[in-house]
Amino acid sequence: MPLTHAPIETVEPVDCQAPPSDHLVSCGKCDKTYRQGGVVSEYAGMHSYEECYFAVRRLYCDHCHHIQVWQERIDPVVLEDVLVARAKGHAVDISDFRFTGIVLSGPGYTTGRRAIEAFLTKHPEAAGVSQS
């Protein structure tokens, strides 16, 4: 007979982090799923406490009518390219990094008609990119 479940007490904990699942992002309040294209991501720099690069990410949830904001760890695609660009004083672009799915802080939520209208005016790609 195949094992269908195990009591939680018998499962040993493991130290691992799940990778991002198919580039989908969920609202932290209602769990509605969105495609990665609906998330606005901005390179923020080096996280002082965690000592890693991070991005500020924002998602507009059309169900809850809020903007979800969080900080996510990002890893350089080619570390040497990022270090050289920074040493030369060049701007580092978010495309030089890959998202890890590791949330460093958040999510926080921004509500209010004016804030949401300003966000969607600046980032029209963030509206209407739901998965379901």
Give residue-wise pLDDT tens across range 30-48.
Answer: 999 988 888 999 887 887 7
On the question of pLDDT at 113 being above 90, the answer is: yes
On the question of pLDDT at 91 being above 80, the answer is: no
Determine if the peptide bond prior to 107 is cis (ω within 30°).
yes
Supply 94's token pair: 């978010």
Q: Tell me if 106 sits within 8 A of 55, measured CB to CB.
A: no
Q: Tell me if 120 sits within 8 A of 126, measured CB to CB.
A: yes
* pLDDT classification of 98: cutoffs 50, 70, 90: confident
Q: Are strands 33-35 and 66-76 parallel, antiparallel or unpaired?
A: unpaired
The number of angstroms, rounded, from the C-alpha of 127 to the middle of its chain's C-alpha atoms is 16
Residue entry with tokens 């996510």: 72
Q: Which helix (H) or strand (E) holds 54?
A: strand 52-61
pTM confidence score: 0.72
**24 phi and psi, to 5 degrees?**
-105, 145
